[in-house]
Amino acid sequence: MSEPGFWDNQEDAQQVVSEVKRLRAVLEPYDRISSRLEDFETMMDLAAEEGAEKEGLKEAQPIAEKIRKEIAQLEVQTFLSGKMDRNDAIFTVYAGAGGTESCDWANMLLRMYLYWFERRGFKSEVSEIQPGDETGIKSATVLVYGDFAFGYLKSERGVHRLVRISPFDANNRRHTSFAAVNVLAQIDDSVEIEIPDSDLRIDTFRASGAGGQHVNTTDSAVRITHLPTGIVVACQNERSQHKNRATAMKILRSRLYEREQAKLEAEREVAYKDQDEIGWGNQIRSYVLHPYQMVKDLRTGVQTSNVQSVLDGNLDDFVNAYVQGEQR
């Protein structure tokens, strides 16, 4: 990369940069853990020489626990070997059966995942959001940037079910709501997807929002319809129509790539087929707030009674179990 002329060919240079990033994602955590293990061993040897093994063990316990967690995380990462697992992701949540209840539940899920992105060190950017008629959201799309973002997030694809006493029911009855999550891998320019202008219908409109400064006064939001497939994508988070169009095209390219992969790779057909009905019988995870508190993943069996922690973005146990179980 330091050679003169490295950037003369942008396409080749970008592939090299991507490969370096991929290698560093493996080597740097390994080197960091190896160094900490050496320091840990040295600390225990010094404690033994000074006859302070008991005090040394007490001091070493939290350090050892941290190293164990890092090793476990590195082990999970080794399972992410899919072609697109290292890519950034396009995350979408949709409200399903349940009307106002499901719109509110979709909004709760969006909040949960935004917290999880922050915990994981992922950068996230809400590119498009459709408010519910009364409350919550009908749908939202988030661009997620970070190593293995797609590899981890693909575990969350499916229907999520909520059971609770409805805050919108004057009779305090229990309601069941559904929302769905879909995840695509963002594809870079090295993947060739030809989209003729004649295949596109591009509409502009005024961005919607909560009011005040967050509502554009110009038609900067962009909606793109791919005529041959009927795929529709939209972006309204930027005030610039040009930026919104570029983001919408990025999402469209990823959706067309996903569609093509579904046709070409039979083993991925189920993972990439059209979204199942967002309702009974299709859920991957249940979140129960009443009459008891429990979050349970129906694929892996992982469960916890600390529902609030999960809703605050503590999803690692669910995600890691799915990633490891899928490969094993």
Mean pLDDT over the full length of the chain: 86
Phi, psi of 130 (to 5 degrees): -115, 110
Say if residue 195 is exposed, middle or buried (CB neighbours under 10 Å; 0-12, 13-18, 19+): middle
Angle of CA points 216, 211, 129, to nearest 5°: 70
The pTM of this model reads: 0.74
* pLDDT at residue 325, rounded to an integer: 83
pLDDT in tens, 228-277: 999 999 998 888 889 899 999 989 999 998 888 777 655 444 444 445 56
State the pLDDT at residue 218: 64
In angstroms, the CA 151 to CA 33 distance is: 22
Angstrom distance (rounded) from CA 184 to CA 254:
7
On the question of pLDDT at 162 being above 60, the answer is yes
- What whole-number distance in Å separates Cα of residue 307 and Cα of residue 295? 6
What are the pLDDT digits (tens) for 123-143? 999 999 999 989 999 999 999
Q: Which amino acid, one-letter code, is at 178?
A: F
Per-residue pLDDT for 284 more than 80?
yes
Tell me what pLDDT residue 279 has: 60
Reply yes or no on whether the pLDDT at 210 is more than 70.
no
d(CA 172, CA 164): 10
Contact 90, 143 (CB under 8 A): yes
pLDDT above 70 coverage of the chain, percent: 89
For 67-80, write each residue's pLDDT tens digit: 888 888 888 888 88
Rounded Cα–Cα distance for residues 252 and 232 (Å)? 8
Among 3.30.1360.70, 3.90.1530.10, 3.20.20.70, 3.30.70.1660, name the CATH number for the domain at 89-190+278-327: 3.30.70.1660
Least confident of 37-51, 203-217, 248-262: 203-217
Q: For residues 2-28, give the mean pLDDT.
A: 85
CA 139 to chain centroid: 15
Q: Note the CATH architecture for domain 197-264.
A: 2-Layer Sandwich (3.30)
Res. 176: pLDDT tops 90: yes
Residue ranges of domains in the chain: 6-78, 89-190+278-327, 197-264
State residue 53's pLDDT score.
73
